[in-house]
Amino acid sequence: MRGFHLYALISTIAATGTIVSHLQKNDHQFFPAFLHLAKSTLGSYLFTNELLVALIYFITFVKTIFFGKLTQSEIDLCWKKRVAIWF
* pLDDT tens-digit series, residues 16-58: 776 666 666 666 555 565 666 656 655 666 666 667 777 777 7
pLDDT at 65: 72
**Are the beta carbons of 18 and 47 closer than 8 angstroms?**
yes
How many other CB atoms are found less than 10 A from the CB of residue 56? 20
Instruction: Tell me: pLDDT of 13 over 70.
Output: yes
pLDDT band at 85 (very low <50, low <70, confident <90, very high): very low
DSSP H/E element including 45: helix 41-67
The span from the CA of 84 to the CA of 87, in Å, is 5
Residue 22: alpha-carbon gap to chain centroid:
17
Region 6-18 average pLDDT:
70
Phi, psi (deg, nearest 5) at residue 70: -75, 145
Single pTM value for the model: 0.39
pLDDT at 30: 55
